[in-house]
A and B are shown apart, each in its own frame.
Chain A
């Protein structure tokens, strides 16, 4: 069975500072990994996904994530935080291509300090 662990349910960063949201995965087979973002009172939308091509994945809104097999991690980063990045971020895992069932982490709420 696969799972993801998001370290830190709440993260606060100053506007312009680096954003780092942590995700570690557990999977018995090579995983596919995702980051979704949820803005207040909205559904989830895909930020980026890793599907065994390049280990550094670029997503929307300047976010990127790096798949590190040795560390079983898929941390999300953005060099310079913007006020509009305030949202909840979810890491998710799917065990292999074609298995559409995702297992989500518990989420990290990102607050941007002006």
Chain B
């Protein structure tokens, strides 16, 4: 099993450009998450999906949209990137009703 995979690993954008971060898991988990990690701030939840077809906002959803395409895939879209969105983005998944989350390797995003 590959676990949780994320693409791309690294991306540079100019302010105003758009892009989609991809995440997929092969563990048959219902729940999936997007976090951003910034120095000194830990991980903050952007969006959460409890099951296919459902999404909920987390702590810092502004400037982002998500799509739960199917049970395996959960994408994060930046419609108009801003320098404040420079960060490392992590996708995670978990079984419904279980606390342990499994993380992908991350996407490092730089917005100029």
**A residues in contact (CB < 8 Å) with B:** 9, 32, 34, 36, 41-46, 49, 51, 90, 94, 97-98, 100-102, 104-107
CB of B83 within 8 A of chain A?
no
CB of B112 within 8 A of chain A?
no
Asked if A102 and B101 sit within 8 Å, CB to CB, the answer is yes
CA of A42 to CA of B88 in the docked complex: distance in angstroms?
11
Interface band, chain B: 20 to 34
Task: State the main secondary structure of chain A at its contact with B.
Answer: loop
A-B contact pairs, 12 of them (CB 8 A): A43-B4, A43-B92, A43-B106, A46-B100, A90-B42, A100-B94, A100-B98, A100-B99, A101-B45, A102-B99, A105-B42, A106-B41
- Nearest first, the 6 A-B pairs at minimum CB distance are A43-B103, A104-B42, A106-B42, A104-B43, A44-B103, A43-B105
Residues of B within 8 A of A34 (CB): 99-100
Asked if B42 and A94 sit within 8 Å, CB to CB, the answer is no
Point out the residue from B40, B48, B50, B90 that lies within 8 Å of A44, measured CB to CB.
Answer: B90
